[in-house]
């Protein structure tokens, strides 16, 4: 299907029939390239402006001649444009550099820890949907009355509270004072050992635990997921709530809703079907933008809960002042965000023909 | 009759309106009713208290932010709240209350710097790009879209590496946070202003100004810019709260301002992670609440401004008041 879209011959008739979808997808895909290119360039230039990463990481800890040798080996004494071309070429081959502190390819780090971040983002999105959408509907329906006021203040509070503070509060209440949930990590040591025995683990603990067929392990993984998932999800939930509220208020005032009401459609059905469906389109678009926010949040959440994902590693490398690793992870995340936004836009175009201008 | 924000008067009549109607927050306050007015008032009060605390921090705080002893006696570490230290002490023996109070100053500086930088750059770029169009416009749009889609905290991390190499002095730390936020927010100001400028520059009064030979700079500033600032207050509040959250986020990741250089809430939260596990709550709760309150205040103002500017969301006066 995708190859057909790239082939101009196959594309032409589709466009002439008025099916602008493929054309839209192609144009949108082409837009990903400059986005990624600009970000990679910006990050590269910024990071190199103030010196080379070897001095930053090891300066003061190695004698100057050894330092010079390491700089020379890594090619940081060459002209900037040569380094830049090298770097671009590397990225095209999937080489995001090698970390200075533990000399690992950045791609390896990402592959190993990416699944944990993915899992966390997934839990957070579930929390966000479960809280944001129903409460957004309630707020819209009870507009300007006390449920709306309470929920909106709640949503603002959710936005105003830094993720790491939410995390610390949750830990304090549920792990320390009530003692019902684990303080940090993705699973208890016992479960991690069990999961380690699995061949070809997916790295997503929930899936691995289910494959293991061990009920206790699944329970343990889920228990560990609750607090980080909620901490990260609350932020997005607030965004969803406000979005659903604003859009449903708009559609609730539409004439087709009034006419459905006059036909005797129940209020519940009016809100959850008639007004909600068309309000979904902007939500889907915003989810794309949320991915970027979610990844920012994941860095903080993972640090708070020692959830060993990409974000946790990023802050570890930051502490070690390993800027090659930092740059690699940042660029890689930029690529992921750009691609996710592309997918989200395509989904939005599939749902709503008006998007495919 | 209340003035209706959605029916925008032309440029000239703007000056004939009373002053209170032209100052953003004040005019919104006059227009608001009920719940929206309550939200706006609460927000304004919180922000005012925050600014006062920051301004009078030296008078309010009993100790300095990096003080570990008084009268030759060292403060005990990790003490729960008591008469001498009303919010307790940290693991390094700092007085939590004093650090939270001084932290308001750091936060205010960072917020102001971020707003000033991004407002000027973003508005200038948006104005030029929207008015002149052409290749500059297109290039700026693509760059802004690219930056806009990027996780802001990561950009902030990169910027703070560039600015201070992770070294954290007061000025360096504040500038790092402020400039990082600037990079993230310039695209937002740019988009908002550019969209308005594109609309306004097609208005007849801009054409007539051009025809009678008004200099370009004057057209840009008086005729176009002054009529394109409608949505700016909302973006400014967003900008302010993001600036504080980013400063705190950088601090939490260990990239903020060192304890001896200044008090910074995110740094304090970073140091309190270990405390939480052993049930020490006062080192995290107070700086955390400080962040929440300030962001809450700013956001309440922003939310109300946003709702009041959007006719769909504005609560209408009862009993046939406004249109």
Of B142, B312, B315, which has the smallest distance from its Cβ to A250's Cβ?
B312
The tokens for B151 are 């996780």
The answer to whether position B25 is within a domain reads no
pTM exceeds cut of 0.90: no
The answer to whether position B8 is within a domain reads no
pLDDT digits (tens, 9 = 90+) for B10-57: 444 455 666 666 677 777 777 766 777 888 888 899 999 999 998 888
State which H helix or E strand residue B69 sits in. Answer: strand B69-70
pLDDT for the residue numbered B291: 92
pLDDT digits (tens, 9 = 90+) for A8-33: 333 333 344 445 778 878 887 887 88
More confidently predicted of B64 and A12? B64
More confidently predicted of A152 and B298? B298
- The listed range with the strongest mean pLDDT (A176-185, A187-196, B7-16) is A176-185
Lowest mean pLDDT among A319-323, B7-11, B168-172: B7-11
Residues sharing a CB contact under 8 Å with residue B201, sequence separation 6 or more, in sequence order:
B130, B131, B224
Lowest mean pLDDT among A218-227, A295-304, B61-70, B106-115: B61-70
Flag if B295 and A159 touch (Cβ within 8 Å): yes
pLDDT at B264 over 80: yes
Q: How far apart are CA B216 and CA A29, in angstroms?
A: 39
What mean pLDDT is reported for chain B? Answer: 79
Question: In a mutagenesis test of the B interface, which of A156, A177, A181, A307 is the best target, namely the one with the most B β-carbons within 10 Å?
Answer: A156
Band the pLDDT of A295: cuts 50, 70, 90.
Answer: confident
Band the pLDDT of A6: cuts 50, 70, 90.
Answer: very low
Mean pLDDT of A52-70: 74
Q: Is B63 in CB contact (< 8 Å) with chain A?
A: no
- The listed range with the strongest mean pLDDT (A73-77, B13-17, B85-89) is B85-89
Flag if B154 and A315 touch (Cβ within 8 Å): no
Residues sharing a CB contact under 8 Å with residue B299, sequence separation 6 or more, in sequence order:
A156, A159, A160, B43, B237, B241
The answer to whether position B105 is within a domain reads yes
pLDDT digits (tens, 9 = 90+) for B296-307: 999 888 888 877
Residue numbers of the domain that contains B282: 33-62+84-309
Q: What CATH number does residue B42 fall under?
A: 1.10.3720.10
Mean pLDDT of B227-236: 81
Lowest mean pLDDT among A30-44, A57-71, B192-206, B248-262: A57-71
Mean pLDDT of A133-159: 83
Residues sharing a CB contact under 8 Å with residue A8, sequence separation 6 or more, in sequence order:
none
The answer to whether position B121 is within a domain reads yes
- Contact (Cβ atoms closer than 8 angstroms) between residue A86 and residue A350: no
Number of domains in chain B: 1
pLDDT digits (tens, 9 = 90+) for A194-203: 777 777 777 7
pLDDT at B204 over 80: yes
- Contact (Cβ atoms closer than 8 angstroms) between residue B309 and residue B231: yes
pLDDT at A268 over 50: yes
The answer to whether position B2 is within a domain reads no
- C-alpha distance from A295 to closest chain B C-alpha (Å): 7
Q: How far apart are CA A25 and CA B314, in angstroms?
A: 37
Flag if A176 and B150 touch (Cβ within 8 Å): no
The answer to whether position B198 is within a domain reads yes
The answer to whether position B116 is within a domain reads yes
The answer to whether position B318 is within a domain reads no
Residues sharing a CB contact under 8 Å with residue B309, sequence separation 6 or more, in sequence order:
B5, B28, B230, B231, B234
pLDDT for the residue numbered A19: 56
């Amino acid at each position: 299907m995708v190859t057909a879209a790239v082939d101009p011959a196959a594309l032409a008739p589709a466009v002439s029939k008025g099916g602008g979808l493929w054309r839209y997808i192609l144009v949108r895909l082409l837009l990903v390239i400059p986005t990624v290119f600009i970000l990679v360039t910006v990050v590269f230039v910024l990071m190199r402006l103030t010196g080379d990463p070897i001095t930053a990481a090891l300066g003061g800890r190695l004698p100057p001649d050894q330092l010079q040798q390491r700089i020379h080996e890594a090619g940081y004494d060459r002209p900037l444009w040569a380094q830049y071309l090298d770097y671009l070429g590397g990225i095209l081959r999937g080489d995001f550099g090698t970390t200075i502190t533990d000399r690992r390819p950045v791609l390896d780090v990402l592959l190993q820890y990416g699944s944990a971040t993915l899992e966390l983002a997934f839990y957070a999105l579930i929390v966000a949907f479960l809280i944001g959408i129903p409460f957004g509907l309630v707020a819209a329906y009870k507009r300007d009355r006390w449920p709306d006021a309470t929920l909106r203040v709640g949503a603002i509070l959710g936005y105003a509270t830094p993720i790491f503070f939410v995390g610390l509060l949750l830990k304090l209440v549920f792990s320390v004072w009530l003692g019902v949930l684990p303080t940090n990590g993705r699973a208890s040591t016992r479960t991690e050992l069990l999961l380690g025995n699995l061949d070809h683990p997916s790295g997503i603990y929930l899936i691995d635990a289910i494959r293991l067929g061990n009920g206790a392990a699944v329970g343990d993984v889920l228990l560990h997921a609750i607090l980080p998932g909620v901490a990260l999800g609350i932020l997005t939930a607030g965004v969803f709530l406000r979005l659903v509220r604003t859009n449903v208020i708009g559609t609730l005032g539409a004439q087709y809703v009034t006419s459905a009401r006059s036909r005797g459609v129940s209020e519940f059905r009016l809100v959850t079907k008639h007004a909600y469906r068309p309000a979904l389109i902007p939500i889907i678009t915003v989810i794309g933008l949320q991915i970027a926010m979610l990844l920012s949040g994941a860095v903080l959440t993972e640090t708070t809960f020692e959830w060993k994902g990409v974000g946790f590693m990023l802050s570890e490398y930051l502490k070690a002042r390993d800027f090659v690793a930092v740059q690699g992870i940042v660029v890689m995340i930029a690529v992921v965000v750009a691609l996710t936004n592309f997918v989200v836009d395509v989904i939005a175009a599939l749902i709503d023909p008006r998007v495919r201008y | 009759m209340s003035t209706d924000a959605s029916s925008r008067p032309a440029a000239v009549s703007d000056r004939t309106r009373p002053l209170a109607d032209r100052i953003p927050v004040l005019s919104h306050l006059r227009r608001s009713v009920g719940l929206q007015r309550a939200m706006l008032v609460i927000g304004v009060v919180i922000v005012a208290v925050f600014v006062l605390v920051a301004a009078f921090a030296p008078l309010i705080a009993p100790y300095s932010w990096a003080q570990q002893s008084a009268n030759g006696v060292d403060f005990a570490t990790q003490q729960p709240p008591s008469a001498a230290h009303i919010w307790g002490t940290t693991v390094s023996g700092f007085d939590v209350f004093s650090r939270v109070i001084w932290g308001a100053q750091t936060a205010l500086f960072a917020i102001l710097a971020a707003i000033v930088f991004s407002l000027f750059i973003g508005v200038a770029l948006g104005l030029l790009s929207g008015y002149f169009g052409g290749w500059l416009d297109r290039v700026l749009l693509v760059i802004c879209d690219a930056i806009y889609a990027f996780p802001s905290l990561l950009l902030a991390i990169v910027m703070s590496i560039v600015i201070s190499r992770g070294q954290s002095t007061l000025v360096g730390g504040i500038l790092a946070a402020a400039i990082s936020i600037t990079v993230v927010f310039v695209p937002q100001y740019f988009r908002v202003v550019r969209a308005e400028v594109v609309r306004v520059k097609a208005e007849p009064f801009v054409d007539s100004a051009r025809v009678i030979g008004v200099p370009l700079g004057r057209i840009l500033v008086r005729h176009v810019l002054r009529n394109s600032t409608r949505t700016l207050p909302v973006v400014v509040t967003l900008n302010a709260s993001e600036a504080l959250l980013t400063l705190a986020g950088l601090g939490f990741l260990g990239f903020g301002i060192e304890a001896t250089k200044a008090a910074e809430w995110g740094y304090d939260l970073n140091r309190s992670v270990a405390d939480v596990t052993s049930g020490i709550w006062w080192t995290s709760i107070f700086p955390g609440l400080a962040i929440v309150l300030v962001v809450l205040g700013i956001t309440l103002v922003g939310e109300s401004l946003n709702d009041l500017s959007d006719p769909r969301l504005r609560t209408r006066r009862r009993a046939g008041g406004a249109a």
